[in-house]
Copies of this chain bind each other. A is one copy, B any other.
Amino acid sequence: MSGIARLRCDQVAPVLGDVAANSALVVASVERALADGVDVLVLPELVTCGYVFRDRDEALRSAITTDDPLFVRIRGLLDGTDTVVVFGFGERQGQRVRNSVAVVDASGTRAVYRKTHLWDRETLVFDAGDEAPPVVGTVHGRIGVLVCYDMEFPEMPRMLAVAGADLIAVPTNWPVGEHPERDRVAEVIAAQATARGNGVFIACCDRAGTERGQDWNEASVIVDQFGWVVAEAAPAAGSTAVTADVFPTLARDKSTSPHNDWLGDRRPELYEREVPRA
């Protein structure tokens, strides 16, 4: 059983198509995280390449493979530490271009996940992944991975919770949306409900930096296993880091009353039944 872990979502502003600059941004973020004693660093979706591509060809030009020097560089920075880095990258995988996330620690690349639910024009640019999201065992707890729109499908975080995830790391690029003043942004509400309903911690790392006229919610957030926000980006803060010390393995206690348990109370056989229509 591990103890307290310092989580950080580093809401940086990548530059569209500039892999060298963005790799330097990632390296600098990892260096800051190590200096600050961060245990789990989450960076945005597609942080290596940016988001608003005109087409597939443009995305391919800044896509990297999993043997890119950036992975070696991060691993090197993490050498001798227990820190884990989760970051999004545009991936060239054979003839395909993916919206991917890597989980890297001192031992190397622990997992690569390719986004399976593509949002809006991503459907014209990227090839959707066909594999289930992974859970990575670390000294800081078991980390599940989703990318942005994936989280909006409750089946996805549920899979990760059932597979034992304590914390779900969600690199995102949340296009700016309107919301009533009383409410947080819609995606944060989704993260809160998801965290509570599965009894897991969730860390969503949004991005900053207007790109071809597109702004973002800039609403990076760390949510506890009860669905409450423990750290969040200030509105319109731009590039900023959100950091919180949490106890990820507390997520293993799913009890919610003397007679209830978030996962134990599921009735999977019922969910396969046909809905009666009257």
Contact = CB atoms under 8 A, between A and B. Distances in A.
A103 interface: yes
Interface stretch (A27-35, A62-70, A189-197, A246-254): A189-197
Interface centre among A184, A193, A226 (most CB of B within 10 A): A193
Interface stretch (A17-25, A71-79, A113-121): A113-121
A15 interface: no
Interface stretch (A93-101, A203-211, A268-276): A268-276
Interface stretch (A4-12, A155-163, A213-221, A236-244): A155-163
Contacts of A121: 259
A111 B278 contact: yes
Given A137-B277, A154-B197, A259-B120, A180 B266 contact: no
Given A190-B197, A192-B193, A193-B194, A155 B276 contact: no
A180 B196 CA distance: 14
A70 to B, nearest CB: 19
Interface of A: 103, 110-111, 116-124, 130-137, 144, 149, 152-156, 158-160, 162-164, 179-180, 182-184, 186, 189-190, 192-194, 196-197, 226-229, 257-260, 265-268, 270-271, 273-278
7 contacts: A134-B277, A135-B277, A144-B275, A159-B271, A183-B192, A186-B196, A190-B196
